[in-house]
């Protein structure tokens, strides 16, 4: 039950981070948002070392750095897919891949949730697809490139979850420190190679920092959940984050949910109940 609560809270916090990140990208370049938010997360993890202490280990740092590289590349590919494709296709493709990959890997590793929990997993995967759907998809043919990029980005996000699950218990925050350090270096190198500015747009810095802090807080919750529960369950619960992003957009920005998204939110709540009951 503790793992379910932590993973569900993780989804809420991830969704909040995405909400702030979405606001920030309206005012600043994508690489600027990613770089500053990742650096803010790196600074946020430092005070957590005495609160969640652990022994330093090369394995924890290595798994974390590998996760950070996958996460940073996934974000970059995801934004590129959104720029060149239809969001109503790109977003659910990414979300579904990020949820499905850890489920398949967890089952392959021998995890065996109860039948009720597996029904919750199936319901959660459907909920992820529905809440990620956008109105106004438009007609016409969808280019193959953005769909492939969306799939790749989803696999990258899923790999992030899988790699953090491999972190040895008792290593504290060293894995997340490694993840953020690797992602900051990678994004900085990418910006330098592309000659892109990392200066945030006017008035966007507080929003970008908030996105980074919430994202790191969600990573902490996921790490704690993964240490207490099965990858199959905690990863699919964490992947329900689009539901909380939608709810924030609804009540903060006044955006309207379409019928499919509303059904997806309802299914997400049902999925959490089934997984908790299983």
Sign of CA dihedral 108, 111, 112, 116: negative
Residue 138's region, left for phi above 0, alpha for psi from -120 to 50, else beta, is: left
Higher pLDDT among residues 177 and 81, named by residue:
177
Q: Which whole-number Å values give the CA distances from 155 to 100, 104, 228, in the listed order?
A: 9, 12, 23
What phi, psi does 217 have (nearest 5°)? -60, -40
**Residue 82 predicted with pLDDT over 90:** no
pLDDT of residue 242: 80
CA nearest 273: which of 4, 15, 14, 11? 4
Supply 182's token pair.
Answer: 């690797």
3-state class of 37 per DSSP? Answer: helix
The alpha carbon torsion through 219, 225, 231, 236 (nearest 10 deg) reads: -70
Within 10 angstroms of residue 53's Cβ, the number of other Cβ atoms is 11
Extents of the domains making up the chain: 2-134+144-277
Instruction: Grade residue 131 by pLDDT with cuts at 50, 70 and 90.
Output: confident
Model confidence over 209-228: pLDDT tens digits? 999 999 999 999 999 999 99
Interatomic CA distance for residues 236 and 136, integer angstroms: 27
Share of the chain above pLDDT 90, in %: 35
pLDDT of residue 135: 60
First to last CA, the chain: 9
Q: Which whole-number Å values give the CA distances from 91 to 24, 113, 164, 168, 242, in the listed order?
A: 18, 28, 23, 32, 10
- What's the number of CA atoms in the CB half-sphere (13 Å) around residue 225? 26
What's the mean per-residue pLDDT of the chain?
86
Burial of 259 (C-beta count, 10 Å sphere; 0-12/13-18/19+): exposed
Mean pLDDT of 123-148: 71
**Residue 139 predicted with pLDDT over 50:** no
Which of 126-130, 175-179, 203-207 is least confident? 126-130
What phi, psi does 227 have (nearest 5°)? -75, -15
**Residue 243 predicted with pLDDT over 90:** no
Instruction: Grade residue 136 by pLDDT with cuts at 50, 70 and 90.
Output: low
């Amino acid at each position: 039950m503790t793992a379910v609560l932590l993973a569900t809270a993780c989804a809420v916090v991830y969704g909040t981070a995405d909400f702030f990140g979405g606001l920030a990208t309206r005012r600043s370049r994508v690489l600027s948002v990613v770089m500053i938010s990742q650096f803010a997360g790196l600074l946020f993890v430092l005070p957590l070392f005495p609160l969640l202490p652990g022994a330093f280990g090369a394995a924890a740092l290595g798994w974390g750095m590998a996760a950070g590289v996958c996460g940073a590349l996934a974000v970059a590919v995801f934004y590129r897919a959104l720029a060149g494709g239809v969001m109503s296709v790109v977003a659910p493709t990414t979300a579904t891949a990020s949820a499905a990959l850890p489920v398949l890997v967890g089952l392959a590793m021998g995890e065996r949730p109860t039948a009720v929990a597996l029904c919750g997993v199936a319901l959660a995967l459907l909920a992820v697809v529905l809440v990620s759907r956008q109105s106004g998809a438009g007609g016409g043919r969808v280019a193959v490139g953005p769909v492939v990029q969306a799939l790749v980005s989803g696999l990258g996000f899923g790999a992030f979850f899988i790699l953090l699950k491999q972190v040895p218990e008792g290593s504290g925050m060293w894995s997340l420190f490694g993840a953020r350090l690797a992602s900051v270096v990678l994004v900085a190198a990418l910006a330098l190679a592309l000659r892109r500015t990392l200066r945030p747009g006017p008035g966007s810095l507080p929003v970008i920092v908030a996105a980074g802090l919430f994202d790191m807080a969600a990573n902490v919750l996921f790490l704690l959940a993964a240490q207490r529960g099965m990858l199959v369950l905690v990863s699919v619960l964490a992947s329900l984050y689009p539901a909380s992003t939608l709810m924030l957009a609804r009540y903060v920005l006044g955006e309207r949910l379409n019928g499919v998204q509303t059904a997806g939110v309802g299914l997400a709540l049902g999925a959490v109940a089934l997984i908790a009951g299983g």
